[in-house]
Amino acid sequence: MNCCPARRVSCCLFLASITAFSVCSFVIQPSVSAADPIGDGVADDTTAIQKWIDAEHDVNFPAGTYRITRPLRVDLKSTGSIAFKGMGRVRIVMAGAGPAIQVVGTHAGTADPKTVTDEVWDRQNALIVSDLEIVGEHPDADGIELSGTMQPTLHNLTIRKSRHAIHLVNRNRNVIVSGCHLYENSGVGLFLDAVNLHQINVTGSHISYNAGGGIVSRGGNVRNLHITGCDIEGNMGPADAASSANVWIVSGSGSIGEVAITGCTIQHTHQGKDSANIRIDLHSEAVNGTDERRHGNVTISGNILSDAQVNIHLRHLRSATVTGNTMWQGFHSNLVMEHCESVTLASNAMDRNPRYHLGRNSVAKHGVQLTACRDCVLSANVIRGVRERPAVLEMTRCQGILIQGGLFSDDTVPAILAVECSDCLIQNNITRGGDPPIVLRDCKIMRTD
């Protein structure tokens, strides 16, 4: 990238002159020129900042509040890959509609190096936006929008009071979102919006109180979505809002698969209508050569999940692992699986610790329900303290389910209830509650010990 001398205003013109030629990016300072950004939170700095972007320069903001009224547009084909970076406490206030920072590239390939053009390698890859706060002041203001990018990094950002905090559209590859606060936005925290995107890592971020969902992937073609070490809470909107989820993945007319959700705290709130901490539905578009419409290859491991109508809700998944999670306060259920195949549910703790179930939380029902599932394994799970459900574990119209080495316990209802199931094996479990603890209705080829 061509770099020009930094433009600085200093109390000492001599110092300004000897330092100006040693910096390859614009450092925005309060300026005597009316054409320069002011950063006082009152003046409209849009035009001045956009001029520097168009001149192919990184923008390093010193501490201040920069008010803008239209998107700061980065056309990577024209500007090359630039960096936005805050040098202190920096706030961008978006007082107009659209994204505060809009990045448009031309990458049309995949993550395979052979598909990346020289133009992208030479001028467009590795965009960086870091160390900024973006605050929306317009109902249609977004934080950051990426389209056609390769290897962008979004780091140490706080985005709040916007519509969507981070909005990924069209096609992107190899995205990193790390160390971000996506907080109190009216739409989605991180929105994969019918995007063609393979390889995205979301790590070490707080994603909370976004009314349209925390991390939402809807439609498009998405692979290798990794969500690790995040705190994701309260992304449900008001109690009368439409259903939402902290992590919400829906293939719809597209195709989504190869997802890992690991080591996160994902919580709140059961007051949201039809709320879920993790909701995944991978009924996908048809492909040639198979009638199978379910995508999958999903791992949900080592998470803390509580205080939702359903902690984990899986529909139309094939090949998934749900292991080592701790769940409680599932007000409708702790886990629901519908039309799933080849799922391993193992070594999860779903307990009713009385310290967490006092007062209003005492009505949480808990329990696990499987409907129309096939060839799944439930092993070494602890499921206790179910209330007002037909059983601790309920199976309806399931086939080929192996249940072994688990503890299913409740004082008032059966441990396991199977209805219209076949070819299942239930063995080596501790089952308490009900008389008998295992109830089979209209089932065939069922083996129990």
Domain check: are 281 and 311 in the same one? yes
In this structure, is residue 22 part of a structural domain?
no
* 10-14, 91-95, 152-156, range with the lowest pLDDT: 10-14
Q: Indicate whether 64 and 92 sit together in one domain.
A: yes
- Answer yes or no: do 389 and 286 share one domain: no
**Listed residues 326, 358, 390: the one ending a domain:** 358
Tell me: do 63 and 115 sit in the same domain: yes
Please tell me the predicted confidence (pLDDT) of residue 68.
98
Q: Which of 116-120, 163-167, 292-296 has the lowest mean pLDDT?
A: 292-296
Residue-level pLDDT at 31: 45
Has this prediction a pTM greater than 0.85?
yes
Confidence of residue 412 (pLDDT cuts 50, 70, 90): confident
Q: What is the pLDDT of residues 278-299, one digit of tens each?
A: 999 999 888 888 888 888 899 9
Domain end point (choices 358, 390, 415): 358
pLDDT score of 34: 54
pLDDT band at 27 (very low <50, low <70, confident <90, very high): low
Examine the domain organization and report whether 158 and 85 are in the same domain. Answer: yes
Asked if the structure places residue 257 within a domain, the reply is: yes
pLDDT above 90 coverage of the chain, percent? 78
Question: How would residue 240 be classed by pLDDT, with cut points 50, 70 and 90?
Answer: confident
At residue 33, does pLDDT exceed 60?
no
In angstroms, the CA 87 to CA 294 distance is: 47
User: Measured between alpha carbons, how far is 138 from 126 in angstroms, rounded to an integer?
Assistant: 30
User: Can you give the pLDDT at residue 21?
Assistant: 37
CA gyration radius, the chain? 26
Name the one residue in this structure whose structure tokens are 């109180």: 209
Of 192, 196, 198, 263, give the one whose Cα is nearest residue 224.
198
Over residues 91-108, the mean pLDDT reads 98
Q: Please, how many CA atoms are within 13 Å of residue 387, restricted to the half-sphere of its CB?
A: 13
Residue with tokens 């390698």: 121
Looking at the domain assignment, is residue 339 inside a domain? no
Asked whether residue 190 falls in the same domain as residue 218, the answer is: yes
Residue 222 sits in a domain of what CATH number? Answer: 2.160.20
Beta strand ranges found along 251-324 (DSSP E)? 255-262, 265-267, 276-281, 296-301, 304-315, 318-323
Tokens of 159: 């985005």
- Give residue 379's domain range: 367-449
Query: Which residues make beta-bridge pairs with 94?
Result: 68, 136
d(CA 126, CA 113): 14
Q: Residue holding tokens 């769940």?
A: 327
Examine the pLDDT at 37 and tell me if it is beyond 70. yes
- 122 pLDDT exceeds 60? yes
Give the chain's domain count: 2
When pLDDT is averaged across residues 337-366 and rounded to a whole number, the result is: 89
Average pLDDT, the chain: 91
In a domain, 163, yes or no: yes
The whole-number pLDDT of residue 433 equals: 81
Q: Give the pair of three-digit tokens for residue 86.
A: 């805050």
More confident residue, 355 or 168: 168
243-260 confidence digits (pLDDT tens) = 889 999 999 989 999 999
Are both 211 and 115 inside the same structural domain?
yes
Residues 350 and 215 in one domain: yes
**pLDDT greater than 50 at residue 209:** yes
Is residue 283 domain-shared with residue 392, that is, in the same domain?
no
Same domain for 315 and 236, yes or no, is yes
28 pLDDT tier (thresholds 50, 70, 90): low
- As a whole number, mean pLDDT of residues 255-280 equals 95
User: Do 408 and 307 share a domain, yes or no?
Assistant: no
What is the full DSSP assignment across 382-444? EEE---SSS-SEEEES-EEEEEES-EEE-SSS-SEEEES-EEEEEES-EEESSSSSEEEES-E
Nearest Cα residue to 60 out of 16, 116, 8:
8
Mean pLDDT over residues 16-23, rounded?
A: 40
Q: What is the pLDDT of residues 303-348, one digit of tens each?
A: 999 999 999 999 999 999 999 999 999 999 999 999 999 999 999 9
Which of 351, 350, 355, 400 has the alpha carbon at shortest distance from 377?
400
CB atoms near residue 193 (< 10 Å) = 17
* Residue 2 scores a pLDDT above 70: no
What's phi and psi for 77, nearest 5 deg? -65, -35
- Residue 403: pLDDT above 60? yes
- Tokens encoding 114: 């052979």
H-only helix segments in 177-315: none
Q: What is the pLDDT of residue 267?
A: 98
Flag whether 33 is in a domain.
Answer: no
Residue 16 lies in a domain: no
pLDDT average, residue stretch 30-53:
84
Q: Is the pLDDT of residue 406 over 50?
A: yes
Evaluate if residue 4 carries a pLDDT over 50: no
Single out the residue of 152, 244, 258 nearest to residue 189, CA to CA.
244
Phi, psi of 366 (to 5 degrees): 65, -155
300 & 371 share domain: no
Whether the predicted pLDDT of 8 surpasses 60: no
Residue 265 identity (one-letter amino acid): T
**To 5 degrees, how large is the angle CA 350–CA 355–CA 356?**
55
Specify if 229 maps to a domain.
yes
7 within domain boundaries: no
